Amino acid sequence: MKRKDHREKLIDLLHGNLSPEEEKEIIAGLERSGMSRQEIEDLRSVSRLIDETPSPGPSERMDKRFYTMLEEEKKNSLLGEPEIKTKKLSFVSLLTPGMRIAAGIALFLLGWFTSGWFGSSTPRDRQIADLSGEIKQLKETLVLTMMQQSSTVERIKAVNMVSEFETADSLIIERLIGVLNHDSNDNVRLLALEALVRYSSVPVVRDGLIGSIGNQTSPLVQLRLADIMLALNEKRAAPEFQKVLQDARLNYSVRGKMNETVIALL
Amino acid sequence: MMKKYFPAALILVAISLAANCQSEQLVINLSPYSVPGLLVFENPKGSIKVTGYEGNVLLATGTLRFSDTEKPAGSNMRRIEQKTVDITAEVNGNKITLFCKSTGKTVDFDIKVPRNFSLKLKSLDNGTVEIFNINGEIEVENTNGDISLGNISGSAVLNSVYGKISAAFRNVNPDSPMMFTSFEGDIEVALPGSVNAGLRLRSENGEILSDFDIKPVNRQSVVTKVDNTLVYSLEDWVTGTINKGGPEYIFKSYNGNIILKKKTDLL
């Protein structure tokens, strides 16, 4: 038998892949070349140990970190614009590394020259403006997500956050009107109403408030709506209140207030 | 990965046949993974009492308030009792939803839950809601009856129309806003003396009383457009802060008083 052949067999022996006859042959050969039986056995047990040692998998913490990262990434991609992202990716992947470096240098030079042309203060101001715009956008997205939470506390937080905004965009207003009409908790509805009152000069908000009169069962919300419509002298609300007044179960105090409001408005 | 296949809870139903009350008990053995959990329950008619304790079993007992056995059955006739209270539970992860089918009868519930549990309860008619020894987020709506909370750690959003609200907090969650509203009833809330909170209070026909040192915040002006005129007015909420200020606690009533006090004892 050739020497090379023996070497291959030696590895097979350590892994225990040999037939008993071959094993005997190799061991005999090894013994002949001056290796004791004990040494061979030691070698085999070490090799077995190595085989049996489990390769370490990711720890539980790492798992968790990965999944939270994945969740965040998922959320981001839900909120952002996925189409643009994929387009960008495929474009970049077309470039070879060399072209990427060249493009990077070109971009850097372009940036340097444009900053020289436009002066140093304007881009900075623009950056700050961009940043504060981004923060506002981020907050709005957060509010919109929080408004859909099943936890009432989270929804209260969301509506309270809207009250901190100086202006609210149409989507936030639309969702607030949605909360006022459909939230399962009357307390959250009351808060949404308080938040909307600040924008009562916006026609959409005013229409939303009038439209919500018939959807309310909480006396606190009904009464507040009557107060607001009276303060705004909103005549279109009168027929809505008249409809509500036909409900026999209407709270006594609310009935009184609504009657007054209808008379004052007509 | 094993966790996924581990049953979230085991449900056992036991019907207790006490001598002269018709009640039924649902026992849910919670796995360690479903604590802290959330209990959701809407009682169509009757009271709800929830008590937190050191244990891992959720025990819901429903008892008919007006027993059929009190009615005479007629001469030579015995009434054979039928199952009248039907309690079911849906377990979804750590969220447990209880359902009660009682065909118009008033059923009072006594529920024991692990102390670290959040609650979302609603009594639609004819009952009070009482909660003790809970550490979690509590949400209660009870249009027609009282709501009372004792020895609570966490936060609460409570809402009634004709009932009184009373709540005593041992600790509060420093990040959570709270809200207490009742149209006709008084609202009485006891908070730890060291609580940091922002307040918004308003009762049209009632009084506001407190032994806290509330620092008033200036009322903000509200601009409204009436026809084509801009009208500036002050907002009608009373706003202020306790200690360093913090999450907003909102109290609103129409005919009731608002009482905000430092917690001295447990209830």
Structural domains in chain A (count): 2
* pLDDT at residue A164 in the model: 79
The values of phi and psi at residue B137, to 5°, are: -90, 125
Asked whether residue A150 is assigned to any structural domain, the reply reads: no
pTM over 0.80: no
B84: which residues sit within 8 A by CB, 6+ positions away?
Answer: B22, B64, B68, B102, B103, B105
Does a structural domain hold residue B222? no
Contact assignment for B183 to A233 by CB distance below 8 Å:
no
Q: Decide if pLDDT at A160 tops 80.
A: yes
Contact B254 A223 (CB under 8 A): yes
For residue range A89-127, list pLDDT tens digits in order.
445 454 566 666 666 777 777 766 665 555 555 667 788
Residue A31 falls inside a structural domain? yes
**Residue segments in chain B with a per-residue pLDDT below the cut of 50:** 1-9, 13-20, 266-267
Residues 6+ away with beta carbon under 8 Å from A111:
none
| Residue pLDDT, tens place only, A50-103 | 767 766 666 667 767 777 777 777 766 555 444 444 444 445 454 566 666 666
pLDDT value of position B109: 95
The pair of structure tokens assigned to B155 is 């936060």
Cβ proximity of B177 and A157 under 8 Å: yes
A28 in a domain, yes or no?
yes
Please give the tally of structural domains in chain B: 1
Answer whether B226 touches A (CB < 8 Å).
Answer: yes
User: What is the distance between the alpha carbons of residues A108 and A49, in angstroms, rounded to a whole number?
Assistant: 55
Final residue of a structural domain among A50, A65, A82: A50
| pLDDT at residue number A89 | 47
- B159–A223: do the CB atoms touch at under 8 Å? no
B248's CB contacts (< 8 A; 6+ apart) are A160, B177, B178, B197, B198, B199, B200
* Interchain contact, A156 vs B159, CB within 8 Å: no
**Tell me, what's the pLDDT at B250?**
95
Please calculate the CA angle A160-B146-A150 and round it to the nearest 5 degrees.
Answer: 35
Altogether, the residues listed in chain A come to a count of 266
User: ipTM score here?
Assistant: 0.85
- Tell me the C-alpha distance between A203 and A201, whole Å: 6
B209 vs A136, which has greater pLDDT? B209
Say if A56 falls within a structural domain: no
Which residue among A50, A70, A86 closes a domain? A50
Is the predicted pLDDT of residue A148 greater than 90, yes or no? no
Residue B257 belongs to some domain of the structure? no
On the question of pLDDT at A238 being above 80, the answer is yes
Radius of gyration of chain A measured on its C-alpha atoms: 37
Q: Which of A151, A187, A232 sits opposite B179 (nearest CB)?
A: A187
Closest residue to A231, CB basis, from B161, B224, B252: B224
* Alpha helices, H only, A33-96: 37-52, 60-79, 82-94
* Residue A156 pLDDT class (50, 70, 90 cuts): very high
Domain encompassing residue B18 = 8-69+83-126
Quick check: is B13 in a domain? yes
**Record: contact B177-A186, CB cut-off 8 A:** no
> Does residue B116 belong to any structural domain of this protein?
yes
* Residue indicated by tokens 């072209």: A99
pLDDT digits (tens, 9 = 90+) for A198-236: 888 889 999 999 999 999 999 999 999 999 999 888 999
Q: What is the pLDDT of residues A163-182, one digit of tens each?
A: 878 777 888 999 999 999 99
Looking at the complex, report in whole angstroms how far the Cα of residue B226 sits from the nearest Cα belonging to chain A: 5
**Inter-chain residue contact A187 with B161, CB threshold 8 Å:** no
Domain that holds residue A197: 165-265
Is a pLDDT exceeding 60 seen at residue A141? yes
**Closest chain A residue to the Cα of B158, Cα to Cα:** A187
Within a domain: residue B243? Answer: no
Q: Quote the tokens at residue B70.
A: 């009190």
- Give the three-class secondary structure for B241: strand
Q: Would A30 be classed as within a structural domain?
A: yes
SS3 state at A189: helix
What six digits make up the tokens of B28? 């849910």
Phi, psi of A77 (to 5 degrees): -70, -25
Task: Give the C-alpha separation, A49 to A70, whole Å.
Answer: 36
Q: How far apart are CA A45 and CA A48, in angstroms?
A: 5
Does residue B252 fall inside a structural domain? no
Structural domain contains residue B112: yes
Which pLDDT tens digit goes with each residue over A5-26?
A: 666 677 777 767 777 777 777 7
Residue B42 maps to a domain: yes
Helix extents (H) in A95-218: 97-118, 121-147, 152-164, 170-182, 186-197, 203-212
